[in-house]
Structure formats: structure tokens, C-alpha cells
Amino acid sequence: MNGMDTLDIDLHLQRPAFALQVQLRLPTQGVTVLWGASGCGKTTLLRCLAGLEHADGHVHLQGIALQDDARGIFMPAWQRRVGLVFQEASLFGHLDVRGNLNYGLRRLPAQAQGTARLALDRAIEVLGIGGLLHRRTGTLSGGERQRVAIARALAMQPRLLLLDEPLAALDAARKREVLPWLNALRQHLQLPVVYVTHAPDEVAHLADTLVVLEQGRVRASGPVQAVLASVDVPVHLGDDVGALVTGTVCGGDAQWGLTRLSLPGLDAESGAALWVQGLSEAQASPVRLRILARDVSVTLTRAQDTSIQNHLPCTIEQIAASADPQQALLRLQAGDTRLLARLTTRAVHQLQLQPGQSVWAQIKAVSLVR
């Protein structure tokens, strides 16, 4: 990585009762989720990237200096072409939906507007807002407003799209309405996205890269599967620690309503696959699953007489003590997939578990991310 395909951030900000100190090198492929409790500095960091606030340091996006204090560069927000979607959609009430969507587009250089128009049409289609174009913004639902705000930001062809808890102001039903649109967008977008949230399900759905912020500092960052499978810095997504697993639909059992998922690096035909209930995805589609550490147990040989359906051959990578001395957290490698297992220290001792040892993981429950 020479800086041409990364977002390099080095920012420091001292406020009364709050300090931000962040150094990050993020990939510009896919969605980076900034995750943390409220007040941890997520929103401030996002505003600094947008150019709405000025912290000390530098921000380089794919080799372009958005800010570089050492060289006296601070590109103002309106010249950055960095889209920002706020928690409340903040649509312009004096314009209709079409007027809102065109606001940024009209401010592009004339020769860029043709391409932007095509991109906007695509965004309108992907976000499903084609029927709203002539509506007044006051008549839209919360979910519709947020989708319009996202399309409006995309219409000015941003170099980077920032989303600041775009679903936080929506109730659960509206949120379920918007999340699939965001997911669809994630698969179509060719630009880097930084997404701020403190909602576990949004991390599980959208994150490719995960950055965990705590009191203005980076506590963990990296590919989402790796960060969530870390036992040194366990990351709780709300309920418990757990791994995020991506599987591919590779068959099913119609009689019992089960779908079989293969995992990368494991031979599904030999039985090393996951069985999941109630899935309607087509053959070969990718599916994200959350497997909580407390739902994974370990056997030395493959258990034959058990009700548990899912068994995966694994290698123990690491055994870490947890805050509770009665419990240990294990990181397991199953093919290319990482799992976490929470066992009692007594069980670890009795089975004489060691890093490097081959074992079987028994998975009691998987939850689909949807």
C-alpha cells in the first residue's frame, strides 16, 4: 500500500473533557465501520474527514491531501467532494426530492455532470426512490428521507462517502426497511465508505473493515472478521463476543427446510459445512452469519451421537484468559474461517487443550445477519 489505495488519517484534537487521537490506514475498498459508544469521537472524526472541523494532523485519500498541516493544506469542505449523510436526513425543505438530488450535481463542473447523472439514476434505482422524485420532503417517511439523503450525497460523485449513524433516528421497522437498500448499495458502490454506528447489527451487515474507537482512541482495527475474532482485545457487539463468518450457499435439504453453506478452505462435500434454517438465498450467494463464542464448544473427536448438527474441523490458534477466571476464550481456525469459543478453564484443563491442536468445533446456534 503506497497511499494510492488507502485513506490515511492522523488526527489529534484536544477539547475540554475530550481528546481525539487517531492514526489509521484504511483500505478504500468496501465499507469501513467506525464503531464505539456515543461520545467516543466517531462523529467528530467523521466531521474532520468532511472538512467541517479542523483537527491537527493530516488526511490523505488515495494520494490526495485533503488536509496536511505540515504543508499548510486544508481543503475546505465544499472543495473536498466528500459526501456526508447525517443522522437526521437534513433534506432541504424548500426543494422537492428532485431538487435535493440535483443540488450537489449542479455544482459539479459541466463536463462531469453527464457521468454524475448516470450515477444518480443508478443510485435512485438501487435505493428505490424513483417514485418519490416529485414529492415534497415533508411528506416522506423517515426511511425514505434517509435514502434520498444518501442518493443526494452520491449524486455529486464523492471521492469518499461518510455516513453518520444514518439509521439511528429510525425505529426498528424503518431500519429493517433501509438496511437492505444499504446492503445493495454496498455491493454496487465503487467508492470508499466510512460508516459510523453503535448498532451491532449494522456492523454485522455492512462492515468490511472495522475500527473500534474508545474515548477518542483506536482500540482495534482491521478486516471485520479478524477484529471480531480477536481474543486479545475481545470486541463485544452488544450481546457477546462472537465471530462473523461468510459462507456460500451450496445445497440444501428441502425435507427439513435446511440450507447448506460452505466455508472458504473447507471441503463441504466431506461434511465440513454449516446447516442453516430458513434461508431463501440462491445457490452460490454469499451469506453472513454471526456465531457467538458461548454457542461454540469443542470436542477432541467428531461426536457421532449428538443433537448438534454443525461440526467443523479446527485448529486451536490461541487460548486467552478472560476477565472471569473461570472462563477461557479460544480462537479457532476452521479452514480460512476464524471462530471464537468460550469454555470453562476446567474444560480446557481436562481436555488438555493446547494451541496448535486439532479439534472439532460444535456449533449450537448460528444467527443469520439480515
Partner 1 sequence: MSDALFTADFAATAWPAIALTLRLAAVTTVLLLLVGTPLAWWLARTPSRWREGAGALVTLPLVLPPSVLGFYMLVLMGPHGPLGQLTQALGWGPLSFTFTGLVMGSIVYSLPFAVQPLRAAFTEMGPRPIEVALTLGASPLNAFVTVALPQARHALLSAAVLSFAHTLGEFGMVLMIGGNIPGQTRVLSTLIYGHVEAMEYAQAHVLAAGMAVFAFVALLALAWLQGRQNSSRS
Q: Of 73, 108, 169, 320, which one interacts with partner 1 (CB under 8 A)?
A: 108
- Find the binding residues for partner 1 in span 150-189 (CB under 8 A): 152-153, 156
**Using an 8 Å Cβ cutoff, are 14 and 216 in contact?**
no
Q: Of 82, 124, 211, 363, which one interacts with partner 1 (CB under 8 A)?
A: 82
Binding flag, residue 94, partner 1 (CB under 8 A): yes
Binding flag, residue 81, partner 1 (CB under 8 A): yes
Least distance to partner 1, CB of residue 40, Å: 21
Least distance to partner 1, CB of residue 149, Å: 8
**Using an 8 Å Cβ cutoff, are 120 and 127 in contact?**
no
Size of the site for partner 1 (CB under 8 A): 26
Give dist(CA 80, CA 82) in Å, integer. 5
- Find the binding residues for partner 1 in span 209-238 (CB under 8 A): none
Taking CB under 8 A as the binding criterion, the range among 101-109, 180-188, 266-274, 306-314 that sits at the site for partner 1 is 101-109
Binding flag, residue 83, partner 1 (CB under 8 A): yes
**Using an 8 Å Cβ cutoff, are 88 and 167 in contact?**
no
Least distance to partner 1, CB of residue 126, Å: 19
Distances (CA, A) of 239 to 235, 262, 276, 293: 10, 26, 21, 11
Q: What does the DSSP assignment read for 194-238? A: EEEE--HHHHHHH-SEEEEEETTEEEEEEEHHHHHT-SSS----S
Diameter of the chain by CA atoms?
A: 72
Taking CB under 8 A as the binding criterion, the range among 81-89, 197-205, 239-247, 252-260 that sits at the site for partner 1 is 81-89
Comparing CB distances to partner 1, the nearer of 82 and 249 is: 82
Give dist(CA 123, CA 130) in Å, integer. 9
Comparing CB distances to partner 1, the nearer of 152 and 338 is: 152
- Find the binding residues for partner 1 in span 20-79 (CB under 8 A): 50-52, 76-79
Strands 31-35 and 193-197, by their bridges, are parallel
Binding flag, residue 90, partner 1 (CB under 8 A): yes
* H or E, element range at 25: strand 18-27
Comparing CB distances to partner 1, the nearer of 77 and 199 is: 77
Q: Supply the DSSP symbol for 170.
A: S
Q: Which residues, 6 or more positions from 316, have their beta carbon under 8 angstroms from its beta carbon?
A: 330, 331, 332, 353, 354, 355, 356, 357, 359
Question: Residue 290: which of 236, 249, 253 has the closest Cα?
Answer: 236
Give dist(CA 35, CA 38) in Å, integer. 9
Binding flag, residue 138, partner 1 (CB under 8 A): yes
Sheet holding 6-15, edge to edge: 73-74, 64-68, 56-61, 6-15, 18-27, 217-223, 209-214, 31-35, 193-197, 160-164, 82-85
* H or E, element range at 286: strand 286-292
Binding flag, residue 134, partner 1 (CB under 8 A): no
Least distance to partner 1, CB of residue 330, Å: 45
- Find the binding residues for partner 1 in span 277-316 (CB under 8 A): none
Binding flag, residue 86, partner 1 (CB under 8 A): yes
Binding flag, residue 142, partner 1 (CB under 8 A): no
Taking CB under 8 A as the binding criterion, the range among 82-90, 239-247, 269-277, 283-291 that sits at the site for partner 1 is 82-90
Comparing CB distances to partner 1, the nearer of 144 and 295 is: 144
For partner 1, the binding residues (CB under 8 A) are 50-52, 76-84, 86, 88, 90, 92-94, 103-104, 107-108, 138, 152-153, 156
